[in-house]
Copies of this chain bind each other. A is one copy, B any other.
Amino acid sequence: MGGDHGPSVTVPAAVEFLSCHPDGRVILVGLSSAIESELRQVGADTRSRLKIVHASEVVEMDDAPALALRSKKDSSIRVAVELVKSGDAQAFVSAGNTGALMAISRFVLKTLPGIDRPAIVSVLPSMKGSTYVLDLGANVDCGPEHLLQFAIMGSILAESVEHKERPTVGLLNIGEETIKGNEVVKKAAELLRESGLNFIGNVEGDDIYKGKCDVIVCDGFVGNVALKTSEGLAQMLGTFLREEFSRNWMTRVAALVAAPVLSAFKKRVDHRQYNGATLIGLKGVVVKSHGSADRFSFGRAIERASEEARNGVVSRISQRLGTMENAA
């Protein structure tokens, strides 16, 4: 029940999820009193598909991951991850501390055989639809084999959740030519060419938004910088646009006339739609929501987790890696 807003956001989002999915069930994990007080208004049908599991501790946003793992054994994150491990939950969504979420998930669930390190993957909008990008920050130093593992996982995600056949995979680099990039990227390109994946070669930063391929793989350092840079730029452009429209009475009239168009534009590029980054490579579905998520936004993260669970992403990755190992 973490994130900047706590149960006041996560509980209503969960209730809304249930009303959209008549077969859905949700377990709310956290301080039960806080959760109960948010549930007062909920109707009987929905309430019957909601369960509360009490967790007495809270991982703070600035807790060190190792500390949260070692000393907060009754935190909502820990309890929820244990529910995924035991099979009582098919997926877990958290708006809490990313580092702690990763450390606890990795410790409790473990990585899938053939996966050395889980990655953080998210979907970004593009001119042609959307692009899965990974890793977005879990691994700051990747070897070529890790980039290959990311490509396999991203590919299965695009296949199972977006229902794309043989998703195209690009390797994030600083030029399209094969001679470009550092040693890790060059070696990763070789592995990708031999992998049987639909590898289209090197792509550049702008290709994320051009929609050149379905999946883009990169080192977590690079991916995180690309993501954050995008957030910063979008915010700056939004601010400048607002400022220009509120400069004087004439521009404010223009803003009134243009309001429906601007609102359609805003809706189209609304980053909240894309909320929910998956910790992929674990023996279970764990989705991280932005800490600052509002109800709509957190709801999108729940949808993502639910989609991945329904489409058996974890077992598909596991199967594919088994097949690859047998073939090798």
Using A244-B264, A268-B244 as known contacts, say yes or no to A205 and B182 having CB atoms under 8 A apart: no
Q: Which of B182, B207, B251 contacts A261 (CB 8 A)?
A: B251
CA distance A187 to B66 in the complex (A): 22
Nearest residue, chain B, Cβ from A238: B237
> Which positions 208-250 of chain A face chain B at CB distance < 8 Å?
208-210, 218, 220-222, 224-237, 239-241, 244-245, 247, 250
Number of copies: 2
CA distance A250 to B261 in the complex (A): 9
CA distance A141 to B231 in the complex (A): 26
Q: Which of B183, B240, B268 contacts A269 (CB 8 A)?
A: B240
Report the minimal beta-carbon distance from A172 to chain B, rounded to whole angstroms.
6
Q: Which of A29-37, A252-260, A275-283, A313-321 contacts B (4 or more CB under 8 A)?
A: A252-260
Using A244-B264, A261-B244, A265-B241 as known contacts, say yes or no to A205 and B232 having CB atoms under 8 A apart: yes
Residue positions of A touching B, CB distance < 8 A: 125-127, 137, 140-141, 172, 174, 181-183, 185, 204-210, 218, 220-222, 224-237, 239-241, 244-245, 247, 250-251, 253-255, 257-258, 260-262, 264-265, 268-269
Known: A205-B227, A222-B222. 13 other contacts (CB 8 A): A126-B236, A141-B182, A174-B225, A205-B229, A206-B235, A207-B232, A209-B232, A210-B232, A237-B237, A240-B268, A254-B257, A254-B258, A254-B261
